[in-house]
């Protein structure tokens, strides 16, 4: 990751986070360097993000009831994270739902 604006390097994927995490989606980068992900929680609920190299790994991590095992995204927020390329993503909420958008790319 350099000091530059975020540049999309793949298609945006989306899921509706709920109290039970939905089937994971895979954010595929179109370049070798697409290891950053812009993640937008557009809803009004905190989302506990699960991610991993497999759909099963992402589902296991997306757990709103285990403190400290996942990353939380506050409502109406955008974050950029660095993970390995072509990760699977899903998310759970304590209650309610939130639409989450994930774009692979590079930059801040």
Q: Has residue 36 got a pLDDT over 70?
A: yes
Q: Do residues 19 and 95 touch, judged by C-beta distance below 8 A? A: yes
For 52, what's the count of Cα atoms within 13 Å in the CB-facing half-sphere?
15
In the chain, what are the domains? 7-106 (2.60.120)
**Other C-beta atoms lying within 10 Å of the C-beta of residue 68:** 4
Q: Do residues 105 and 6 touch, judged by C-beta distance below 8 A? A: yes
105 versus 63: the higher-pLDDT residue is 105
CA distance 28 to 11: 7
pLDDT tens-digit map of 22-32? 999 999 998 87
Residue with the two structure tokens 């899921």: 15
pLDDT tens-digit map of 40-94? 999 999 999 999 999 999 998 888 776 556 789 999 999 999 999 999 999 999 9
């Amino acid at each position: 990751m350099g000091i530059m604006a975020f540049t999309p390097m793949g298609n945006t994927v989306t899921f509706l986070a709920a109290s039970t995490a939905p089937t994971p989606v895979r954010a595929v980068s179109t370049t070798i360097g697409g290891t950053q992900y812009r993640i937008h929680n557009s809803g009004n609920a905190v989302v506990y993000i699960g991610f991993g190299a497999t759909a099963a790994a992402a589902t296991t991590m997306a757990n709103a009831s285990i403190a400290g095992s996942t990353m939380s995204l506050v409502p109406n927020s955008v974050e950029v994270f660095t993970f390995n390329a072509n990760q699977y993503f899903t998310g759970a909420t304590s209650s309610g739902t939130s639409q989450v958008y994930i774009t692979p790319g590079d930059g801040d």
